[in-house]
Amino acid sequence: MKSFLLILACTLLLFPLYSEAQVRVLSERGEFIGKIGATQRKSIIIQNESNAKKDYILRFLRGNVGTSQKVKICVGDQCYDPTKELSKIKISLKPGELVTDLYLEFDLGIIETKGNFELHFANTENNKDIFIVESVYNVSNPENNLDKTNHKDIAIGDVYPNPSNRVAHLDYEYKNKNALAKISINSFIGNPVAEYKLDPSQSTLVMNIEGLRPGVYFYTLFVENKNIVTKKLVVE
């Protein structure tokens, strides 16, 4: 009987820890991939899955953010620097509320590099009630592209990042805007898996490769349906 009462008491004590749902981050991990000097903004979607109002503040930023890089957290139109304004970054959530006006803005900096960082938010009334926003970045320097392909109608660089696991970028420059150019991606054994028409009004092609199996692929530049150059793309 005493054992039963002890188990019952422990269960009652532990029950609140598991019965109340916490805030959940619904958006995917933030990925900032681009060239030196660029600034990108990603949406952070969170939801209070409990039946109680919750208030959170940013406790700390963990990771390897470079000295030339800047991170900002924007709540609506108001943006804050998490390295200097921790106490000002507050998020209030009503029971069941879904928040979509929270953003992470990242300046990629002035050097070629890659890394990751995390933002840890904690409940003002319970430090064990936290949620974490994860981000990674990959900064490229176009000037280091020694294998640039120049054609009379268009010039292209190399895919970056390479290897890639979600999206791959390809910079290009039209010399003849009337030329028809495209990028074709093929598997290692030559099977076509994707094709992208290059837009003369743009300068960067963004290719979604998340659905491709890990392995070696090849991307080919076609101009007026003529094979100009083929290069390797590695998918992780």
pLDDT at 136 over 50: yes
The two beta strands, 70-75 and 78-80, are antiparallel
How do residues 59-80 score in pLDDT, each as one tens digit? Answer: 999 988 888 899 999 988 899 9
Band (3; pLDDT cuts 50, 70, 90): low
What is the pTM assigned to this prediction?
Answer: 0.64
pLDDT of 71 reads 93
How many C-beta atoms surround the C-beta of residue 185 within 10 A? Answer: 21
Evaluate whether 24 touches 98 at the Cβ level (below 8 Å): no
For residues 119-142, average pLDDT:
90
pLDDT above 90 as % of the chain: 57
pLDDT at 20 over 50: no
For residues 131-145, average pLDDT:
82
Cα angle vertex 12, ends 10, 18, to 5°? 100
How do residues 166-201 score in pLDDT, each as one tens digit? Answer: 888 999 999 999 999 999 999 988 899 999 999 999
pLDDT of 1 reads 52
Evaluate whether 133 touches 118 at the Cβ level (below 8 Å): yes
pLDDT of 145 reads 56
pLDDT of 49 reads 92
pLDDT at 19 over 60: no
For residues 12-18, average pLDDT:
41
Tokens coding 171: 């910079």
pLDDT of 77 reads 86
